[in-house]
A and B are shown apart, each in its own frame.
Chain A
């Protein structure tokens, strides 16, 4: 459609909004309420313009012509129009520059500021505030308002993570719409009306995993991230765009740091991955980086004590020790959120020292690489049938949001010259959701089930049987046996209906995560199912670079060289990065027999207590490198200026150690690692674009570990994925305040039987490791099982806890 904005003519697709036409033409119009990926509602009236269009004669279909010029006559709307809710028409003329329009914009700025406190000098949004900018650009700079302004609460804790200043709110309704439209839970609303309107909730907190996004989209300083409030001004922050390493989604984030400290994390836009949303774990889970007890220098044990030394001394010490250790006796293990470059470094070091004892952890028993047709986020968001096995909202919350996109049934927006449409007219408030296309299966009730047409709770630990029964339904005519029906967790008809829905869909996607990955048989079954119904698969690996590390082969050369074996006597010397296996006392015993234990970590822990050498590690915010997200997308990780002392990532460790050993190893720097990766993958990782690169890498892992069929598992504790990473929770006070401590969830009947009540702090030996948790009682937990968040050392799956070890950390009150 032809549209004319001021003097610029342009061609745009029908359905485009007038505001997007204005921006596409390179002009500006102020706006507050419209927001990418959300419905335009015309609430703020800031985007006014003079709009008109030619008209056709009803009878003849001819354009009505202007008598003077002979051109089609433009009929203007009688009033100025909100461009965000106006769709373009053929020949539309939009004027944003005339005095009339400027006057109206000026008037709207004045109106919006009537009740605004103008406390910009003490407002965290100052310098990055849409209202401030627009008032400056489009306002008159003067106020004629002589009356008292409305006074409201200025420090309302909407939750532990978000503080609301009700005076600053301009009632754009972005935050309210966000909750209904994006995560699909209207947990925040306008209360009262007119000049009295304020944002509020009934009851405490905001029950959602995605609350922080409202602090990004609030156009003023009304909604603020409580972790960063009053900590700095926008122009003082260094903004680093990078990739979040909190989960496997590869969500884009902006790290705002000041004087060497991360003050806050915001969502960045990656239209093909996380759009502009991130979960609260990713946003607020950074406080540990600046924890008091962070290790910032290398330490070497001298006379029983760890004493600070230089990197050279530490690696010199390691080199000396290594001399006495034979080939194949050294183990090297990375945490699964290490970058590809760190992986290359680890491999180079292992190759140099001629050991096959190389691994990453957590590494599920089954491969995290998708087999068959891999689904991208965009496939997920446009799927017409989705089958989820697992708890996406905790494992990879970004997947949860993209599934909710699919439920709306609106395909991703076209990209305009200025980016994502500001006002996508296809989006509406309270759109009907096609819940029917979503089926969610998990061993217990998970959050996404509230949005699913059908949900299934199969028996705990029964993934293989559950999926095998489905495969049987999909591939053979035979009736299911009684056991198979039981394993299905739903009536057979429903199972058949699910298969049919998936098979008939044009674009079906099966999403699975750690519950399935805990068993190779279950993983094979889900792949068979996907083949049978011609669905694409999306695999949620446990950590940010699980995909990449497996793909480049940071893997043991033999099953007996796996991490689990290494720490139980398989290795004589160990270099562990980011892990803490000594939490398990039996492992700690085994580690004591090592000839050399090098721990590369941020904090002192049970394993550093046994280490000969402790090397300070960079956090995911301080590294440069590349990770591969669950789609197989290469994403750049960039370092923010954070004071980590002498911390190095694994490439740094290998550089120092290489120097000590007198070799130049691949991966001694990110540059050399990238060169090696280019050889390995035929992908050039230098200067990756922000949105990443979906390259066709070799899809097979270079080293495959032959997997022994695992024995039937049983247990009374199910380790479950958790958005809030339990290993950091004690050093993330704000996140902990909002989401609570590590929780041991159990059914009310079990709680009664064990004489436990909600809120009690307990200690319990789970699979040999002492875990501390707070009891949470919930009907959603199956009877006879307890749920506890998994850690890198205790990955998702069924394990046994010794109930005899259960101790209440009773407070004085209870004793009395």
Chain B
């Protein structure tokens, strides 16, 4: 049903980008470009469809099955489009102990979607994920590429309100974190 929008090959008019990405690797290592190419597609389309997989395989001279194999290894690539805001609740030990399960329940109730689902408007997706490496500031909620730490019920409500009004707040990080500057760029990419 969404095949319509994928009719035009993704990389048709992106020669420069393609050259740049392929230029990063020597000819015999051309297949290494799988990851950045998948990532380009996903950033723009919030998922990588089969048509795109085939396109990437074509570009790299591989079989589509190989590309699919690489892609499916990483849970961060999506086969189905995720919502505008992809809420990823850490559900590993520290976060669980600090109330992540309750947070998930709350989000399920608030958004009317369960783990792995996207709402009808395509606005929110909810996903339980494994340790986000921020155990000291549990529980952690990652929205797209942005970390929100020590998410209490009140902060969760605030966050949802902000997101619903179309605004992604600054990340809540206690020790700086590494995505403060990258985050803007990513959001830009999402809008494109």
Contact = CB atoms under 8 A, between A and B. Distances in A.
A78 interface: no
A187 interface: yes
A260 B72 CA distance: 46
A696 interface: no
A201 B68 CA distance: 8
Contacts of B65: 186-189, 200-203
Nearest to A198: B72
Interface in B57-103: 62-69, 72-73
B28 A189 contact: no
A186 B66 contact: yes
B50 interface: yes
Contacts of B73: 190, 192-193
A202 B64 contact: yes
Interface string A177-203: 000000001111111110000001111
Contacts of B54: 202
Nearest to B67: A202
A378 B131 CA distance: 54
Nearest to B64: A202
Contacts of B50: 202-203
Contacts, number: 35
B68 A432 contact: no
Interface in B21-61: 28, 50, 53-54
> Max chain A CB contacts within 10 Å: which of B53, B65, B66, B67?
B65
Contacts of B28: 432
B63 A191 contact: no
A451 to B, nearest CB: 12
B69 A190 contact: yes
Interface size class of A (residues with CB under 8 A): 10 to 19
Interface residues of B, number: 14
A737 B53 CA distance: 27
Contact of A186 (B53, B63, B72): B63
B53 A202 contact: yes
A192 B77 CA distance: 11
Contacts of B53: 202
Contact of B62 (A186, A192, A432): A186
A353 B69 CA distance: 66
B118 to A, nearest CB: 20
A188 B67 CA distance: 11
Contacts of B68: 189, 191, 200, 202
> Per DSSP, are chain B's interface residues mostly helix, strand or loop, or mixed?
helix
A191 B64 contact: no
Contacts of A191: 68-69, 72
A188 B64 CA distance: 10
Given A202-B53, A432-B28, A187 B63 contact: yes
Contacts of A185: 63
A450 to B, nearest CB: 9
Nearest to B75: A193
A202 B50 CA distance: 8
A189 B54 CA distance: 15
Nearest to B69: A189
A794 to B, nearest CB: 34
Given A202-B53, A432-B28, A193 B63 contact: no
Nearest to B68: A202
Contacts of B62: 186
A726 to B, nearest CB: 28
A200 B65 CA distance: 8
A185 B61 CA distance: 11
Contact of B72 (A187, A192, A203, A432): A192
Nearest to B66: A186
Contacts of A193: 72-73
Contacts of B66: 186, 189
A186 B64 CA distance: 9
A432 B62 CA distance: 14
A188 B65 CA distance: 6
A403 B67 CA distance: 26
Interface in A168-223: 185-193, 200-203
A193 B73 CA distance: 5
Nearest to A191: B72
A200 B73 CA distance: 13
A433 to B, nearest CB: 10
Interface string B125-161: 0000000000000000000000000000000000000
Considering residues A188, A189, A192, A432, which has the most beta carbons from chain B within 10 angstroms of its beta carbon? A189
Contact of B64 (A190, A192, A203): A203
B117 to A, nearest CB: 19
A191 B53 CA distance: 14
Nearest to A196: B72
A161 B45 CA distance: 37
A540 to B, nearest CB: 27
Interface in A415-435: 432
Nearest to A180: B66
B61 to A, nearest CB: 9
B64 to A, nearest CB: 4
Nearest to B54: A202
Given A189-B66, A189-B68, A202-B50, 9 more contacts: A186-B63, A187-B63, A187-B65, A189-B65, A190-B69, A191-B72, A200-B65, A202-B64, A203-B65
13 contacts: A185-B63, A186-B62, A186-B63, A186-B65, A188-B65, A189-B68, A191-B69, A191-B72, A200-B68, A202-B53, A202-B64, A203-B50, A203-B65
Interface of B: 28, 50, 53-54, 62-69, 72-73
Interface of A: 185-193, 200-203, 432
**The 8 residue pairs across chains A and B that have the minimum distance between CB atoms:** A189-B69, A202-B68, A202-B64, A191-B72, A202-B65, A193-B73, A186-B66, A201-B65
